[in-house]
Amino acid sequence: MLKSRDVPKELKTFNSLFFDFQYKYNLNQVFDDLLTIIICTLARQTQEKLYFETIERYTKTEINGFCKLYAELMQIYAYNQNLGEWCDPLGTYYECLASNYKKSNFGQFFTPKSLCDLMANITIDKEDFGNKVNDPCSGSGRLILAANQIIQGNYYVCQDLDPICCKMTAVNLAFHKVKAEVHCMNSLSNDTPRFSIGINHDYWKSKAISTLYYSNA
């Protein structure tokens, strides 16, 4: 388990639940599977095949562990939204893992929240909305969350080469009620996306957060 001093207070329960998987599974895979499970549950029963393929390696007790992790994340999102703030619990926790495990499959570090807020305040016009905005290297979606904090109503097209980053972006934007699409692809070569995720495509009508998952694999 990560040491308490390495994990923010709001993620300590999440950290304890997450490390129940450490003796049996690769933690990078567990984190990826958690993201996939969340995306499938937000897909309104359109991704049942992917959902069952993802959970088939886990026991009923372990699947219940994923439910508890999901519930912890929902509480964190709700708490920050009640304060009128944006948050990135997924990216923050993934950075904690990266700083403690010197393995090639952990290595993501994202723009600090304060810098994201500064960049957004410098570049975003508070009266300018209804635009399509591209982020070609979205990471966990922090710059978009910071921009959305200033003005809502823009549509975001997000790209990242890392599948885990794309999934973190999708989940973060979904829970912040941002309308967007995320493509797992090399934005420099503009190749065919490995997969794409539509986010909150009909929130204006249903008022329910959602995802649409498309795989090109």
Give the pLDDT score at 96: 87
**Do residue 199 and residue 118 come from a single domain?**
yes
Element (H, E) at 67: helix 60-82
User: Does residue 107 sit within a domain?
Assistant: no
Structural domain count, the chain = 2
By three-state DSSP, how is residue 120 classified? helix
Q: Residue 157's domain is classified under what CATH number? A: 3.40.50.150
Same domain, 79 and 163: no
**Which is nearest to 156 in space by CA: 192, 172, 23?**
172
Domain C-terminal end among 47, 71, 100: 100
CA distance 145 to 25: 31
Question: Is the residue at 108 inside a domain?
Answer: no
* Token pair of 132 as six digits: 């399509």
In the chain, count H helices and then E strands.
9, 5
86 and 57 assigned to the same domain = yes
pLDDT at 104: 44
Asked, for residue 91, whether it belongs to a domain, the answer is yes
131 and 159 belong to one structural domain: yes
**Both 187 and 211 in a single domain?**
yes
Are residues 89 and 152 located together in one domain of the fold? Answer: no
Q: Are residues 85 and 151 in the same domain?
A: no
Q: Which residues of the chain have pLDDT under 70?
A: 1-5, 99-108, 217
Same domain? For 68 and 90 the reply is yes
Helix (H, G, I), strand (E, B) or coil at 156: strand
* Domain termination residue (choose one: 100, 133, 167): 100
Choosing from 78, 100, 122, the residue where a domain stops is 100
**172 touches 181 (CB < 8 A):** no
Spatial CB neighbours of 104, under 8 Å, sequence gap ≥ 6: none
Residue 111 structure tokens: 């723009």
Shared-domain flag, residues 55 and 137 = no
pLDDT of amino acid 103: 47
119 shares its domain with 64: no
Residues 66 and 87 in one domain: yes
Structure tokens at 13: 């329960």
| pLDDT value of residue 2 | 63
pLDDT in tens, 90-108: 999 999 887 665 444 545 6
pTM: 0.93
In a shared domain, residues 192 and 120: yes
Question: What is the distance of C-alpha 66 from the center of its chain?
Answer: 15
Q: Give me the domain span that covers residue 138.
A: 113-215
106 occurs within a structural domain: no
